[in-house]
Structure 1
């Protein structure tokens, strides 16, 4: 790669260019062994969304066990990272278009476009409401994946479903460009990520026994 030439199509520089210079399919899309960056983001996003849904359904309300908040925060951070990679045009991060040779960045209307009902997009509220410390005295609702109005703290599953839609468009573009190997890897990522999220659900009832066994070991209190 010529160091004087930027391959970023969005006015960026080092972030995209360094990623392109060291790009290998496995580094981004491997779903077994040393997994890729995109698979890691997608898999743990779906797992966190499933965990949030389980905790919401269980309504344990145990003091010192705010698991729904941990899961919600994980969804918000990973969803925003993936949305920016696939949809964003900012200069300070990698773009799917540049890294994978797509025709353009992808799109997700609910994430990028303000709703005619609320005048806010998913991006607006996710950015202000969960990432940055700003004035939150007047929270707004979002239009959920199913079209209903929801508070931000009720949106983990909606964001996960939105990312899966964008991922499907990513697969479609890879196939349209003739990138057969990358397309197969992206499909495998999606399937494995959904499988991993299924394990969270399938094994939820085993946790009680695991806690009982662990209670005999030394635990570390930090604060």
Structure 2
């Protein structure tokens, strides 16, 4: 994790944070959050995947270090039992508070907060290149090969193991339907060109399985 922590420190410095022990400690505490045992998809692996997409396409952003910081914070608070966008709201508030405490300018910390909040609904304005890159990176898994996508969907189900199957199917179907209702899953043209069709195919496929009739218990 040394490399990952260095990526955190570099992004924090790029946003104006002090290069001191407090910044390193904040990164370690963030990683502890991403390692919480109730996470099965929203893990360090997901964080790394999002950061990798941001790094690969940093030239498409206006302030790539802020997008990187928003990636670090976007699931910092993750409670599958939370209602609505409570996780994103809490993650955004925590990001703004911690970053300000690390010396990041108030306006910059507020922008990271704004970016984190976008991941609640993935609705991005047409001129918001930073928001587009963050949301595209967050949703990149949707365009994965079918077997990888299916593993992602199974991991989401494990995170919601406390939810009965009928309720999970309904809730997950609503989330997927909301994604399909977006004008585009991916906003940045180089990413949309490669990912959009595959992602919509995966989402439709999962949605079909969720909305299929469930056989009665004990049916042969």
- TM-score grouping bracket, smaller chain normalisation: under 0.3
Which structure has more relative contact order (CA 8 Å, sep 6+)? It is 1
Question: Taking structure 1 as the reference length, what is the TM-score of the superposition?
Answer: 0.28
Question: Taking structure 2 as the reference length, what is the TM-score of the superposition?
Answer: 0.28
Please identify the structure whose Cα radius of gyration is greater. 1
